[in-house]
Structure formats: structure tokens, C-alpha cells
Structure 1
Amino acid sequence: MKLVRYGAQGCERPGMLDGQGGLRDLSGLLRDIDARAMARGLQDSLGAVDAGRLPRVDGTPRLGAPLARPGKIIAIGLNYVDHARESGMAIPAEPVVFMKAPSTLSGPYDDVPKPAKAEKMDWEVELGIVIGKPCRDVSELDAAGSIFGYVLANDLSDRAFQLDRGGQWDKGKSFDRFCPIGPYLVTHDEIADVHALDIWLSVDGERVQQSNTRQMIFKCPAIVSYLSQCMTLEPGDLVITGTPAGVGLGMKPPRYLRGGELVELGIAGLGTQKYRITR
């Protein structure tokens, strides 16, 4: 299934795509695509639904983040060898873990305002994992059973707050709208091999990131298993899994978003995003 949330910001309704890519309304079956729906077995409850019998949504409504505000957004850093090298950091022996505030969530086509205090705003296209079942101290073998699906994400960052001003990375990662996701949430059964997906990002039409998820150092089951040793993962939690090389920080000289740029990104099977960085 490809699940979406559509409508005006703050008033989104749940929906899904039918076999022809048409938008269908799910609000007669569930209140929202959120932690509560995940905990109640969303995939099982919708698995028998014939999308063609759901009400058709006409026109081209705005698509919001396909997952309502998660309890946690957990991020993995330096998870591609080439990105660790361009950042001048050692290849990690264990996953590098940090958090993004849930208020960073944004839609796939919504403009992202450049924060007034952000001096080195950067881009990072990433594969996102949505947790579907409670997950605590699970093995890698069992971790896959806790994954509901996947989303395209952009781990927007301000490198000055992240790296230059001391403390933890979180503060450089948690400005409003610094985690656009979507356009849709794809259930795990739709993806034949999540570790064989082309991943890319362009700024003003220039392709700056181009890789494949097979280059991830820590694969999705390993990430979920590792995190479950540190904290309980709950239905509706979002885990973003790291970015490949090509971020502004790694360019010589570094190149950052100043406002006005058009950012486009995508992952095979998970759709594309497109928005302006506004001043």
C-alpha cells in the first residue's frame, strides 16, 4: 500500500493510492495515519480493502507528511562510507544516533523557511523507517517484523548549530520543518529489496547526491535491532537512516542553502519531493 495524508496543513485526511495512482479517501475507515492506527494493526486492517471501492478524491489536493506527528524521530549519522569520509570523520563501529524534534516534520512539497539563526543550512536525502509494532531488545532477524514501511526523508541540518557551537547534534537538526517526509508511506511488502534503491538529491537542478541504499553501512534490521537495545521503539516512530556523499558540508569549499534554492530529491519506489528554501 501507498498511504498518504492530504488536505490543508493541520487538517489532513488519510488516503491511499489505488492501482492506477489515483487518490482514495480512507477517513471512513480510520481517523489518521498515526501511532494509534499503527498500534491497532493498520496494515492488517487495510490489507483486505479494495482501494477501487473507496471514495475517489478529485483534483490535486496538497499532500502533507504521510505520517502524523510521531512520538520520536531518531536519526542515524555517518551511515554511508563516502559521507563519513567527506565529513572528515571516522567510519563508525556502531550506529551514530541522534534525535530530531517531532516538530521538524513537514510535507513533501511544502516550502521550508531558512531559520534566521541558521548559518550553514545543509541537505541530506535519507531512507526513513516507520515502526509498526513495539520493539524492545529484538534481534536483527526479528527486527524486520517491527517495520511497518518506508518513506523518503530529508534530514535538513544547520552545520553551525550541529558542529560549531558545542553540545549535541540535535539542536542543529531540530528547526521547524527540518524533516520533510513523503509523498507517501509505502508498506514494507511493496519494496522487494530496501537495500537496492537508487537515492538522489538535486539543488537548483544540479544533481549533488547520487547513490544506492546498498551502500549503507548499517542495514535497516541492524539499525532497528540496535536502537531497540537503547530505547523502546513504538508504533509510529520514525527512524531516518543516514545520507550518502554530496552534502554541502563535504564540498570544497562548503556550499550551504542561503534561501531561494529549489530542492528536489527521491528514492526509487518511495516517490519524490520538491520545495523551495524560503528566506
Structure 2
Amino acid sequence: MMRGRVAYAGAIHEAYPHGRGVRLADGRVCREEEVVWLAPIEPGTIFALGLNYAEHAKELQFSKQEEPLVFLKGPGSVIGHRGVTRRPNDVTFMHYECELAVVIGRPAKEVKRDEAMQYVGGYTIANDYAIRDYLENYYRPNLRVKNRDGGTVLGPWFVDAADIADVAQLELRTYVNGTLQQKGNTRDLVTDIPALIEYLSSFMTLAPGDVILTGTPEGVVNVNAGDEVVCEIDGLGRLVNVIASDADFNRD
């Protein structure tokens, strides 16, 4: 089942896909642009993977690491489908990162690889922006790069794990202003989902609602204010986001 969360008429609603837009849990049908989209789940701890597609690592001229490159993100970085992400005026290279987001469904501690998928509740799409100007180096993403307000777009739908037949064979695509710029497939993950859950749960307990952003394929390009960025993943939908300038946020 696909389900999302939206704000409409002063309340937060669970929402479902509908031919004319979205259907609210109370039965009302709204156009997609009539509602304010929230992240489809209330995220707990957000784990983000860097350089987890081999070709993207090559694109950035880095080789495979001995352990996954994982860093944490705060909840203030998250916005929903059709949200707006600010591009600071002083940067020269800001890019999208289309990613499969794995949502933990039950507490996981010291989980073995063979049992790891039993702890997945479902999936959604993430677009996790990065500003390369602020990066200390590719192995240590700093706070200004990966914890910016509104820099991580989630949605539009949460899809139950049982509804995805093979999560290791999902195609990812990113379009900027209608032009395909990025394409990849989850079969090319350097560290796959079971291995990530085994690794993380070996030293900490994963909780329901925790989110693992599994990394992005090659094909990142700079985006500018006014650009529309669309991320698609097979079976999960189409995540739309717009880039805005400092002036749009009343900043000099």
C-alpha cells in the first residue's frame, strides 16, 4: 500500500493516491497542489550513506572503503514532496542525490544479514542535496553540507516492504527541468540493505521510524534557483522539488 501525510484545511491527514490527485483518510479528494505535503513518515534517526554506488564513487574519484561511510542527519533537514529547497547565493556547486530510503519497522539489535529484511517496514524516495563548496572532504561530510534546513526531501509515499517484489532491482532516475540527468539501479549498491542493517545494528539499536538513505548513483549536476528536480524510483512514485534563491527566503 502507498500512503502519505499531508496538511489540508488546518489538519494533518493520511493520504492515498487517487486518479484526481490524493484521497484523504476521511474520503475527500484533493488535487495534488491543494495540499501541503509532509514527509510520509515521522523520521527517527536518519542514517545517510556516502559513496555507496561504485560509479558515483568513481565520478568523485574515490575508491571503495573498508566500512560503509555513514553519517547522521537531523529531523530539521526534512521536507516533503513539492517542497522548496534554498540554494545559497555564495555557492558554485549544489546537486541533488536521488536515493532509496529504507524505513525500519521494528527494533533491530545485532541482526544478522540473513534476517535483516524482516526488520524493514517499507520504503520511500529521498532527494538529499549536497553543497560541494562546504565539503571538508568526501570522507567527512560536515554539518553545513548534509544538515541544512529543507535539504532532504522525502516522499511522496511510504510503500510497505511487502509491496516491493525485489528491492535489489529498482531503477532510480532524476530529471532536472524535464531532462534526465541521473540513472542507476539498486543492484549496484556497494553495501546492500541487509549488510547495512547488519552493520548498523551491530553497535546500536535501530528503532521503528529510523531511516537509512542508501546513497546515490552517478550523474549529479549543479542546480540553480528556479530549477525543478524530479526523482523517480520504480514502484515508489515521483518526488518533486523546486530550488529557490536566498531572495525567495528574504535573505540578502
Report the CA distance between 1:195 and its aligned residue.
0.9
Q: Residue 67 of structure 1 aligns with which residue?
A: 41
Aligned 1:195-206 pairs, distance under 5 A: 195-206=168-179
Report the CA distance between 1:89 and its aligned residue.
0.8
Q: Which runs of 5+ in 2 are unaligned?
A: 246-252
- Distance change in 2, residues 1:192/1:21 (3 Å): farther
Distance in 2, Cα, partners of 1:9 & 1:95: 43
Distance in 1, Cα, partners of 2:139 & 2:163: 42
Amino acid at match of 1:144: M
SS at match of 1:82: helix
Amino acid at match of 1:64: L
Q: Residue 106 of structure 1 aligns with which residue?
A: 79
Contact persistence 1:128–1:152 (CA under 8 A): yes
Distance in 2, Cα, partners of 1:131 & 1:200: 24
Q: Deviations over 1:113-170 (max 9, x none)?
A: 2235544321110000011111111111121111100001111111122236996434
- Distance change in 2, residues 1:8/1:207 (3 Å): same
Distance in 2, Cα, partners of 1:272 & 1:117: 30
Deviates more, 1:188-197 or 1:269-278: 269-278
Report the TM-score, using the length of structure 1 for normalisation: 0.80
Q: Deviations over 1:241-267 (max 9, x none)?
A: 00000013xxxxxxx223121111100
Q: Deviations over 1:24-69 (max 9, x none)?
A: 444xxxxxxxxxxxxxxxxxxxxxxxxxxxx32222242321012x
Report the CA distance between 1:77 and its aligned residue.
0.9
Q: Residue 261 of structure 1 aligns with which residue?
A: 227
Q: Residue 41 of structure 1 aligns with which residue?
A: none
Report the CA distance between 1:240 and its aligned residue.
0.3
Q: Does 1:12 align with 2:12?
A: yes
Distance in 2, Cα, partners of 1:65 & 1:128: 12
Q: Report the number of matched residues.
A: 242
- Distance change in 2, residues 1:118/1:137 (3 Å): farther
Structure with the largest fraction of strand:
2
Distance in 2, Cα, partners of 1:90 & 1:11: 48
Deviates more, 1:180-189 or 1:256-265: 256-265
Report the TM-score, using the length of structure 2 for normalisation: 0.88
Q: Residue 270 of structure 1 aligns with which residue?
A: 236
Aligned 1:119-268 pairs, distance under 5 A: 119-163=92-136, 168-248=141-221, 256-268=222-234
How large is the Cα RMSD of the aligned pairs? 2.3
Q: Residue 47 of structure 1 aligns with which residue?
A: none
- Distance change in 2, residues 1:158/1:222 (3 Å): same
- Distance change in 2, residues 1:23/1:84 (3 Å): same
Distance in 2, Cα, partners of 1:208 & 1:15: 30
- Distance change in 2, residues 1:225/1:246 (3 Å): same
Amino acid at match of 2:38: G
Contact persistence 1:115–1:175 (CA under 8 A): no
- Distance change in 2, residues 1:235/1:175 (3 Å): same
Distance in 1, Cα, partners of 2:109 & 2:16: 30
Amino acid at match of 2:30: G
Contact persistence 1:162–1:173 (CA under 8 A): no
- Distance change in 2, residues 1:214/1:114 (3 Å): same
Distance in 2, Cα, partners of 1:231 & 1:117: 38
